[in-house]
Amino acid sequence: MIQIEKLRKVYRTRGREVTAVDGVDLTVREGEVFGVLGRSGAGKSTLLRCVNLLERPDAGRVLVDGQDLPALSGGELRRARRRIGMIHQHFGLLSSRTVAGNVAFPLEVMGVPRAERAERVAELLELVGLTEHARAYPAQISGGQKQRVGIARALAGRPKVLLSDEATSALDPETTASILELLRDLNRRLGLTILLITHEMDVVKRICDSVAIMRDGRVVESGPVRELLLRPGSELARGLFPLPDPVLRAGTTVVDVTFEGDGADRPFVSTLARTYSIDVNILGGAVEEIGGTRIGRLRIELPGEPDVNAAQLAHLREAGLAVEIHGTAGDAPGAPATDPATDPATDEEAPVS
C-alpha cells in the first residue's frame, strides 16, 4: 500500500547539511498497522512527512496505493493527498472552528456540497464518539477528544491510508490507550492501512503488526513484530522485554527463551528439568500481550557449558521456542551485548548482533 524506496532527505542550513533520512526502504502492506520506532531526531518524522510530500524527498520513490507521489503535479498531488489521512501530535485543529466545523473542513476543501457535508460530519463524529461535542470549540475539549476530532477529520475523505505523526505523544497513558484502541478498531473495521511514527514502545506493543526501528536516518531493523521478537538479538525484543545484563558464571549456560501463543501456556521449564534431570534456574522474564497473542521471554540458567547443553537447547528449539544463548564467562566474545537500558530499541549504543 505504501512503498518507500531509497528515500533520502537532506536539510541544508547555512553551510550545514543534516541527512534526516538516509536511504530508507520500507513496505507497508495493505490493511496493516506499521510502526516506525525511534527517538527524536532519528528522522522518523521527516520520513512520514515525505510520504504525503509535506517534505519533498531529495532522492528515492514514494508510492502510495501504486501512485508515485513525487512525480505528481501540484493539482494531482492535492487530489492524492485527499486520499491520505493524517493525524498530528498537536492535533492541528482550527481553533476558530467548532468540532463539527473542523471535521467539515477537508470536505469543503474537496468541494463536497453543504447538505452532504453535514451528513458526513455527523457520521464521522459518531464514528469517533464525539456527537455531543459537535458544537464545542477545540479549546473546550480534552486532548483525547481533540485527537478524536483529528481522526474524524482525517477520515473525512474515506482514505485508504492513515499517517499518524506521534498522535499519542501529547496524551496521558489512559487517553493514549483509548486512542490506540480507536485506531486499531478503524484499522479492522475499515481496512485502513496505518503508518505511524512513535518513540513509545507501548504503541508498538499495543497496535503494530509490523515495525521498523530507525536510528540516525536509517532503518536498523524491520519486519513483522512477531518475527522480530523471535529473532535472536532483536532490538525490539530487548526493548519490549527489558532484562538486565546476564551475570555469566563459569560452568553454566544462560539462555533467553522467547515463546508465543501456545508456548506461553506450556510448562517448558519443568519439562526440560524433568526430561534431563537438571536444575533450571530462572533469572528473569516477562510476558506481554502483543497484537492479540501472548509473547513472553524467559531467561534461564542451565548447569554446564553450552556444548554440554546441546541436547537441552535442541529440545527447546524443537518445542517451537526461539532460543538465544548468552556466552558463559569463558567465551564472552560472540555473546550478544544486552543493553541494560529499559528502552534499548532507541538506544544508540545497542548493536545488532
Cβ proximity to another protein, 80 vs 220, nearer residue: 80
The region of 73-81, 233-241, 247-255, 302-310 touching another protein under the rule CB under 8 A is 73-81
x-marked contacts with another protein along 231-260 as a string, rule CB under 8 A: ------------------------------
SS3 helix, strand, coil % of the chain, rounded to 5?
40, 30, 35
The neighbouring-strand residues paired with 9 are 21
Which amino acid type is present at position 192? L
Tell me the longest C-alpha to C-alpha distance in the chain. 77
Q: Give CA–CA dist 249/301, Å, rounded.
A: 9
Q: Is 71 in the site for another protein (CB under 8 A)?
A: no
Q: How far is CA 82 from CA 27, 159, 162, 173, 210, in A?
A: 21, 7, 11, 31, 25
CB nearer to another protein: pick between 20 and 323: 20
Report the alpha-carbon distance of residue 51 to residue 280 in Å, rounded: 50
CB of 266 to another protein, least distance (A): 48
Residue 12 near another protein by CB under 8 A: no
Q: Using CA atoms, how far apart are residues 307 and 305, in angstroms rounded to an integer? A: 6
Residue with cell 504503541: 203
| Residue 144 or 263 with smaller CB distance to another protein | 144
| Burial classification of residue 49, based on how many CB atoms lie within 10 Å of its CB (0-12 exposed, 13-18 middle, 19 or more buried) | buried
**By CB under 8 A, which span of 18-26, 88-96, 195-203, 266-274 interacts with another protein?**
88-96
Q: Which residues pair with 161 in a beta bridge?
A: 84, 193
CB 5 to another protein: min, Å: 22
Query: What's the min distance (Å) between Cβ of 88 and another protein?
Result: 6
DSSP secondary structure letters along 70-138: GGS-HHHHHHHHTTEEEEETT----TTS-HHHHHHHHHHHHT--HHHHHHHHHHHHHHHT-GGGTTS-G
Contacts of 5 (CB under 8 A, 6+ apart): 25, 60, 61, 62, 63
- Rule CB under 8 A: choose which of 26, 62, 86, 323 binds another protein: 86
108-167 positions binding another protein, by CB under 8 A: 108-110, 137-140, 153, 157, 163
**Least separation, in Å, of the C-beta of 53 and another protein?**
9
CB of 148 to another protein, least distance (A): 15
Contact pick of 63, 72, 80, 308 for another protein (by CB under 8 A): 80
Q: How far is the CB of 86 from another protein (least distance, A)?
A: 4
Q: Draw the binding track, 162-191, toward another protein (x: CB under 8 A; -: no contact).
A: -x----------------------------
> Residue 57, interface with another protein (CB under 8 A)?
no
By CB under 8 A, name the one of 2, 42, 69, 84 that touches another protein.
84
Q: Which is nearer to another protein, 144 or 306 (CB)?
A: 144
Contacts with another protein, residue ranges (CB under 8 A):
52, 54, 77-82, 84, 86, 88, 90-97, 105-106, 108-110, 137-140, 153, 157, 163
